[in-house]
């Protein structure tokens, strides 16, 4: 299952009063007992009525293949504007593998804590159903487009908000160990719109 991509959708879902970490941030699905590390700049393009406002963030992520069909990812990073720091984890399960003649599908669950300038902190718990399909171009470039629809809850100061977003993007395998990803998150309910890019190394 080497090179199978993880639609972690993580998707990026995200949220009111703060920008969320992208879903597919480093969407690669790594092989069992293999690992990947990556970095991902992220920009918030617009915010919801209760959004975090425009800003930029820098995410670092580590992904490990805990079974042939599931990955665990840990992420953290600083940000500007209202978001000063974030950390959390994502578990992804590809229950329909991406095989020849078959579209891959899965579900990711994510929990992240965000430190905010104007609040003590915010915890988000999200689910990311996703679908993806790997293709190879005539030149040999592998790419894996995905679509995910993250939804869940954000908790702050004893209150909660429901979140809903649409995430679109693709992973590009540029060499045996190096990959690139890009993702656009569209806020549907209490969510910001963001754009991110990433680069990752897989063992």
Per-residue pLDDT band at 80 (split at 50, 70, 90): confident
Average the pLDDT over 68-72 and give the result. 89
| 62 or 10: which leads in pLDDT | 62
Q: What is the pTM of this model?
A: 0.81
> Does the CA dihedral 100-37-166-125 come out positive or negative?
positive
Tell me the pLDDT tens digit for each residue of 123-165. 889 998 999 888 888 888 888 899 999 999 988 888 888 989 8
Residue 87: its pLDDT value, please?
93
Q: Where do we find the tokens 């599931």?
A: 70
Residue 76: its pLDDT value, please?
93
Per-residue pLDDT band at 7 (split at 50, 70, 90): very low
Cα-based distances in Å from 167 to 120, 153, 162: 28, 17, 17
Interatomic CA distance for residues 201 and 198, integer angstroms: 10
Domain extents in the chain: 35-202
Residue 20: its pLDDT value, please?
38
Superfamily of domain 35-202: Autotransporter beta-domain (2.40.128.130)
């Amino acid at each position: 299952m080497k090179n199978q991509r993880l639609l972690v959708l993580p998707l990026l879902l995200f949220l009111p009063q703060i920008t969320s970490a992208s879903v597919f941030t480093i969407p690669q699905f790594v092989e069992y007992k293999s690992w990947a590390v990556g970095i991902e700049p992220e920009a918030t393009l617009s915010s919801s009525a209760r959004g975090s406002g425009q800003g930029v963030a820098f995410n670092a992520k580590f992904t490990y293949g805990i079974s042939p069909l599931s990955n665990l990812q840990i992420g953290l990073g600083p940000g500007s504007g209202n978001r000063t720091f974030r950390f959390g984890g994502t578990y992804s399960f590809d229950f329909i593998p991406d095989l020849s003649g078959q579209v891959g599908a899965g579900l990711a669950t994510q929990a992240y804590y965000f430190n905010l300038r104007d609040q003590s902190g915010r915890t988000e718990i999200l689910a990311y159903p996703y679908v993806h399909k790997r293709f190879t171009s005539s030149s040999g470039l592998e790419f894996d487009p995905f679509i995910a629809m993250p939804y869940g809850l954000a908790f702050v100061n004893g209150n909660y908000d429901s979140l809903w977003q649409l995430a679109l993007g693709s992973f590009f395998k540029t060499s045996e160990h190096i990959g690139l990803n890009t993702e656009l998150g569209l806020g549907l309910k209490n969510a910001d719109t963001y754009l991110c890019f990433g680069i990752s190394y897989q063992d």
